Chain A
Amino acid sequence: MSHASMYQSPEAVAFGQRLNHLQGPLFGFVQGMIGDQEQARDIVQDVFVDAWRLASRGAPPFTRENDEPGARRWLFHAAYWRAASVARRARVIRWEPLDTSEASVHEPYVEQHPFEDRVIEGVALRQALATLSAEDAACILLSVVQVMHSSEIAQVLGISAEAAKKRVTRAKQRLRAAYLAQEARTMEEHAQ
């Protein structure tokens, strides 16, 4: 099949719409997991190349029936595996020891920061997210940013729904602890 005729095919049109619709969320997800924008773009591109191979053959979930949730899950699953592999290999993960059940009642009270500090909070949040494991970061991003239910997260990550729900809870607790630690360090630096 020629390039031009494929571009006009219904599969190509549907795939093009999906590409436009999902590349942004997919990029945000991968970037959140690995931090590096250039690598995130590469991964998203690779994922869509793999997806197009399936779509051009009419293979599930990229069939004419337009299984939108299935296609979305497939794309995030493929991106997750690639990003997790990169993150693990790069060893950018740093584990913050934390007993989460203790942390919820013994951590110090921290005043909320005013709105004008939001930009700084964003930077601190990125740094805090980078301290989590790839799996934890993925759970948070899928739950909070992509608004996926634990049953859907389970399919993306290849774990049970029960494990996904537990992981989301613990990951958010870890992120909060890492963020507070990051904030404390920042405030300490400002004070000096």
Chain B
Amino acid sequence: MADITIPERIPITLVVNGERRALEVVPWTTLLDALRDRLELTGTKKGCDHGQCGACTVLIDGRRVNSCLTLAVMKDGAEITTIEGLAKDGTLHPLQQAFIDHDAFQCGYCTPGQICSAAGLLAEGRARNADEIRELMSGNLCRCGAYPNIVAAIEQAMSRS
């Protein structure tokens, strides 16, 4: 087998948490790895890299997406909100505060994905009660088992939004 070369890097721009970030990535770099390894935004978590756990959930143009199943080059120019971009001027997003109030996490590893997913859920306006929250948040696994508290936190944020 001949020498194996890695494909050329491609320049892209991502608008991350309101800031334009230019970077060059090889085509196989996921949005998740670009955020964590290239932009040092490690708040977005890798739990499976296969779209099975939801820990990598971010908002792309307002919609919740598994960033591990998204190639960075596909999102050239997109607006991306990560957990680091939810608090404004030091004030927590209502969901962040609700997660603290209701102890909606233990180890904290799935938490950024849960909160971003919940923010997407609120924007969708599809969940009207606890059962629907449970169903529509089932793409975000929590091994600590904080689910009832996650539902309570989202209900709190929903009632105040």
On whether the two chains bind one another, the answer is no
Interface residues of B (CB under 8 A from A): none
Interface residues of A (CB under 8 A from B): none
